Copies of this chain bind each other. A is one copy, B any other.
Amino acid sequence: MSADGITLDQANKVIAAARKRANKIKVMMNIAVVDAGNNLTAFAKMDNAWQGSIDIAQGKAYSARAFDMSTKDLGAASLPDGPLFGINASNDGKIIIFAGGIPLKDAEGNVVGAIGVSGGSVEQDQDVAEAGVAAFA
């Protein structure tokens, strides 16, 4: 384990698993992994994936680590009636509040990084992010 949390080798393994899943469901994705300090560790833009999702994938990974919860849960908490309504205006606009970002935890449950996926529907993004998480667990 790197002092920064997740290592590059681990991050690449997470991306490879996510990419495999994305190929299976035939949706080209952008996939980002940040480390414990919320710094970009690895990134992959699959061929012809949406260019506009390069930023969103990174934002989802950032958001999942910033609040140690999936962006799906963060989105639910950010609804007009929710406890975190308005949170996406914080952190210089880097917060993304729809599914596709998930924290990566070590065996003790400590958050050591996060994955962010963007390029399809939110259900597809979430599906591919979960495949990445499964490869890390």
Contact = CB atoms under 8 A, between A and B. Distances in A.
A73 interface: no
Interface string A19-43: 0000000000000000111111111
A97 B86 contact: yes
* Dominant secondary structure at the A interface: mixed
Contact of A8 (B44, B56, B112): B44
Given A12-B44, A66-B51, A86 B88 contact: yes
Contacts of A92: 55, 93
A8 B66 contact: no
A127 interface: no
Given A86-B97, A98-B85, A51 B63 contact: no
Given A2-B48, A52-B91, 6 more contacts: A35-B45, A39-B54, A50-B67, A55-B92, A56-B90, A85-B98
13 contacts: A2-B47, A3-B110, A8-B46, A8-B47, A39-B54, A40-B45, A42-B43, A50-B66, A52-B90, A83-B121, A86-B96, A89-B96, A93-B93
